[in-house]
Amino acid sequence: ADIISTVEFNHSGELLATGDKGGRVVIFQQEQENKSQSHSRGEYNVYSTFQSHEPEFDYLKSLEIEEKINKIRWLPQKNAAQFLLSTNDKTIKLWKISERDKRPEGYNLKEEDGRYRDPTTVTTLRVPVFRPMDLMVEASPRRIFANAHTYHINSISINSDYETYLSADDLRINLWHLEITDRSFNIVDIKPANMEELTEVITAAEFHPNSCSTFVYSSSKGTIRLCDMRASALCDRHSKLFEEPEDPSNRSFFSEIISSISDVKFSHSGRYMMTRDYLSVKIWDLNMENRPVETYQVHEYLRSKLCSLYENDCIFDKFECCWNGSDRQVEFLPLIVMTGSYNNFFRMFDRNTKRDITLEASRENNKPRTVLKPRKVCASGKRKKDEISVDSLDFNKKILHTAWHPKENIIAVATTNNLYIFQDKMN
Amino acid sequence: MFVRGLKRKCFDGEEDIEGTLAGIKAIPSYNLQRQSLLDMSLVKLQLCHMLVEPNLCRSVLIANTVRQIQEEMTQDGTWQMINTQSTGQASLDRLVSTDILCRSSRDQAEEKHGPAYGTFNKDFEGDQAQDSSETMSTVSAVQAPRNLQNNVWEMESPQENKGNFQKSLDQIFETLENKSPNTVEDLFSEVDNSYYDLDTMLTGMMSNTKMGHCDSLETFSSPTNTASNSNCKSDLNDLDHIVEILVES
């Protein structure tokens, strides 16, 4: 139940939320920067913990509904409180996280412990006043969006209008209004009339960061479809279809499985989008549908091991990817992309210099406050010193979830049970 | 094709390490590897039906892989039949293989998919004979997955789904229980060996996958006969629960 299943910074980067397999959400808060300690940014400490989802049982199908949190998405802050959406396989919840550091004292009809006073004993009247108290962080569910998904929800994405959001399961995408819980609009439906004909499912979906009528969804066949909600109520016909032709020299029985897209993320400007499939990260220009503009190999040395990875189900692992943060919108192109791999390795690709680096998130191999040592995997042949051979990689240690602070070079990397926060070296 | 490339690699490796004779025995044929992949995929599809609703994406991808193998085997199968008919010696082998298959079918009460699992018969050492026995099995193997595919994701009609699921499970039960435990063990141990040849990586993974196969055997054979693989460390509570649910439906 301690297995981390999602990681997400809020819009300011001050808060970092994680969801786990047990349905809990843990929020970390960055300490305010200490003027005297200018060599490091604030640390992240636990701010709030709450149980978001509970396990349920579907009596009709005799199946359990897992409480595992699949995704968390923050709303932009509008007032003192923070809001986030968290979802498991079937139900999305809007949570309000608020601070309480004062409480009223001096009621006329109530004692301090809450018991009601006998009105006849009241001889004078007084006005209650607020007195400071120890900070308390409360999380309360404000909306519950349920019963709209037959299949497992894999994505939620808040629209740039900050009023609506989409939720996507394997076969359908629904559009919700944040205030309305008893209704949602179905905007994509790829369920075939005859389920025996099913060959493709939706794997991820996201709204465009600037255009509130545009969204994309990716599929298990390696395609991305861009849809415009102004075109029709049901966006079954895409406006754009992004697909790279298959490389015939790499064809195998596993070609389709490794082409299945596990994550899709728009760049901050909305001009580009990034997709993650099993072996690579691809950057697409929204103006060019027939191939990506850049492709980065995450762990090409696994290509010859696909059969074993199929056997132990690792080939179905869904890795996420993320852009580096960007202070300036629109004009500034993100320069670095990050994604996870096995053996607690994660990779970063610098789009400008075309350099890449492999780092490891592990307590044994890295002391706190030391610079991470780059790692290298030896695919075949003679293994150099400090290199790790493919055969000794631990495939149970996978980094599926990573997040980048929206403004600073601080990253959050989740191994199976632990969360690591790294920052770049400041001089 | 992934297998051909790997076959060459395996051959090189084996020659260096073991004697030539041992090396030749260890090379799995492309058909054998493809059949292993098909069997493994079918097992994976069946194991999808656990306590929690199966991952639809995974099921679809596995089913597509099965379909792809089927199509290729159908094309190849036809090609193989034509090829073996042209040589006399080959036809003799085919007769022998038919005999073996018929022997196995005689043992079974209602045999439907027996030949599908008869390909790993140890009586055949020769490559060609093995090919022809596989040819005989491809037709029924093609039928098996199609039936199973129908049942994989009809989640919306639970009653019907349970009936179908139970039916397809019954077929698997029949097929497996009618073999002696040795044959079943051999079936999966053969698969394991062939994959050990395919890529000798991830020794940790290999032990895990062996456990995985053990798990599937436990699930299938527990209602019928006591499993011969008692050394599995699978979570018995989960398995009991699964069997309970299956039996109740």
Q: What is the pLDDT of residue A68?
A: 96
Q: What is the DSSP letter of B68?
A: H
Q: What is the pLDDT of residue A131?
A: 93
Q: What is the pLDDT of residue B238?
A: 60
A-chain CB neighbours of B197 within 8 Å are none
Inter-chain contact A312–B208, Cβ cutoff 8 Å? yes
Query: What Cα–Cα distance (Å) separates residue B121 from each residue in B98, B187, B190, B192?
Result: 12, 8, 10, 15
A-chain CB neighbours of B69 within 8 Å are 253
Rounded Cα distance between A154 and A170, Å, is: 7
B-chain CB neighbours of A89 within 8 Å are 53
Query: Which of the residue ranges A222-226, A389-393, B143-147 has the most confident prediction, judged by mean pLDDT?
Result: A222-226
Domain ranges of chain A: 4-97+145-423
Q: Which of A242-246, A322-326, A330-334 has the lowest mean pLDDT?
A: A330-334
Res. B47 pLDDT band, cuts 50 70 90? confident
Residue B226, beta-bridge partner list: none
Q: Which of A114-123, A174-183, B96-105 has the lowest mean pLDDT?
A: B96-105
B-chain CB neighbours of A314 within 8 Å are 205
More confident residue, B184 or A282: A282
- Looking at CATH, the fold of the domain delimited by A4-97+145-423 is given as Methylamine Dehydrogenase; Chain H (2.130.10)
Res. A65 pLDDT band, cuts 50 70 90? very high
Q: What is the pLDDT of residue A111?
A: 85
Q: What is the pLDDT of residue B201?
A: 37
pLDDT at B230 over 50: no
CA distance A117 to chain B (A): 53
Q: What is the pLDDT of residue B62?
A: 95
A64, A55 contact by CB (below 8 A):
yes
* Burial class for B193, CB neighbours closer than 10 Å (0-12, 13-18, 19+): middle
Domain ranges of chain B: 29-75
Q: What is the pLDDT of residue A35?
A: 58
Mean pLDDT within A398-417: 94
Q: Which of A308, A318, A389 to mutate to test the interface with B (most CBs of B within 10 A)?
A: A308
A-chain CB neighbours of B65 within 8 Å are 253-254, 256-257
pLDDT at B111 over 70: no
A-chain CB neighbours of B168 within 8 Å are none
Per-residue model confidence as pLDDT tens digits over B120-178: 333 333 334 334 444 344 334 444 444 444 444 443 444 444 444 444 444 443 443 44
Chain B's closest residue to A198, CA to CA, is B60
Chain A's closest residue to B209, CA to CA, is A312
**Which residue from A57, A56, A71 is spatially nearest to A25, judged by alpha carbons?**
A71
pLDDT at A79 over 90: yes
More confident residue, B14 or A34: A34
Q: Is the ipTM of this complex over 0.95?
A: no
Chain A's closest residue to B53, CA to CA, is A63
φ, ψ (nearest 5 deg) of residue A321: -145, 160
Per-residue model confidence as pLDDT tens digits over A10-47: 999 999 999 999 999 999 999 987 656 555 678 899 99
CA distance B156 to chain A (A): 8
Rounded Cα distance between A303 and A7, Å, is: 28
Q: What is the pLDDT of residue B116?
A: 35
Q: Which of A259-273, A281-295, A355-369, B208-222 has the lowest mean pLDDT?
A: B208-222
Across all residues in chain A, what is the average pLDDT?
92
Rounded Cα distance between A262 and A219, Å, is: 8
Cross-chain CB nearest to A196 (options B53, B149, B204): B149
pLDDT at A403 over 90: yes
B-chain CB neighbours of A196 within 8 Å are 149-150
3-class secondary-structure state, position A11: coil
CA distance B90 to chain A (A): 29
Q: Which of A227-231, A294-298, A364-368 has the lowest mean pLDDT?
A: A364-368
Cross-chain CB nearest to B37 (options A151, A199, A253): A253
Q: How many CB pairs under 8 A join A and B?
A: 114
Query: Which of the residue ranges A160-169, A405-414, B126-135 has the most confident prediction, judged by mean pLDDT?
Result: A160-169
pLDDT at B249 over 70: no
pLDDT at A273 over 70: yes
- Chain B residues bordering chain A (beta-carbon distance below 8 Å): 1-2, 6, 34, 37, 40, 44, 51-53, 55-58, 60-61, 63-65, 68-69, 149-150, 153-156, 158, 195, 198-206, 208-209, 212, 245, 249
Q: Burial code of B51-68, b = ≥16 C-beta within 10 A, e = fewer? A: eebbbbbbbbbbbbbbeb
pLDDT at A153 over 90: yes
**Which residue from A313, A361, A387 is spatially nearest to B205, judged by alpha carbons?**
A313
Q: What is the pLDDT of residue A383?
A: 75
Any residues with CB less than 8 A from the CB of B136 and at least 6 apart, and which? B94, B97, B98, B101, B115
pLDDT at B221 over 70: no
